[in-house]
Amino acid sequence: MTNMKDEQSTRDKILYLLKTKGPKMAQELADTLELTSMGARQQLHRLEQEGLVSHYEDNAQRGRPKRFWCTTEKAEQQFPDSHAELAVSLIQSINSAFGENGLDQIIQTREHQMLKLYQQEIDQHNHLENKLKALAKLRRQEGYMAEVKKADDCFYLLENHCPICIAAKHCQNFCRSELEVFQNVLGDKVKVSRTEHIIQGARRCAYKITKNKK
């Protein structure tokens, strides 16, 4: 008989995989989690009934359409949100009491604190890849589900979750500030650009890091 704790763990693992790796077919999830095909599909259908996942058909290739599963907006509640409602309330209160200039000062203070913390860790490393891995580790500790991917001539810092997403939707200067922190902490030998943005409807935030040409 299936242990309820194990079932909950499998459910959470499926949500985590779909959140961090993007849409997957049931068989891919089954292979990764060492489940039977039927077991994976049963879990997905339960999650679909709860409104946590949805599916779509890919007709791009010949043969039978492939069904891909992905998380829904409701599923975001299963991941850390850094007290979203409180954050939004504070943003509105600060804006009301001190105006946009007051809110900008709060964001600048946060930016300086982040820069100081990140700099202490990242300055211990000489190579860009190691600096990025240290940055990703810090961001994971803050709930961003960050990872580093290497491409032919650049690196990508991928953040599969944004724990301040709701707050950032109300004040996008948070996103601008974080981009500036990444650029400052990695230095002027590289260029940091955002290529995917959760606020604009993407599944994740992605930052491309390229070395500046001499």
Of residues 62 and 198, more confidence is placed in 198
Rounded distance between C-alpha atoms, residue 125 and residue 21, angstroms: 28
State the pLDDT at residue 86: 57
For residue 51, give the 3-state DSSP assignment: coil
Give 84-211's CATH code, choosing from 3.40.50.300, 3.30.1380.20, 3.30.300.30, 3.40.50.720: 3.30.1380.20
Decide if domain 4-78 falls under CATH 3.30.70.270: no
Segment 55-113, tens digit of pLDDT: 888 776 666 788 888 888 788 777 766 556 656 677 777 777 777 787 788 888 889 99
State the pLDDT at residue 61: 63
The domain segmentation of the chain, as residue ranges, is 4-78, 84-211
pLDDT at 31 over 50: yes
pLDDT at 16 over 70: yes
- Cβ atoms of 125 and 134 within 8 Å: the answer is yes
Task: Indicate the pTM of the whole model.
Answer: 0.70
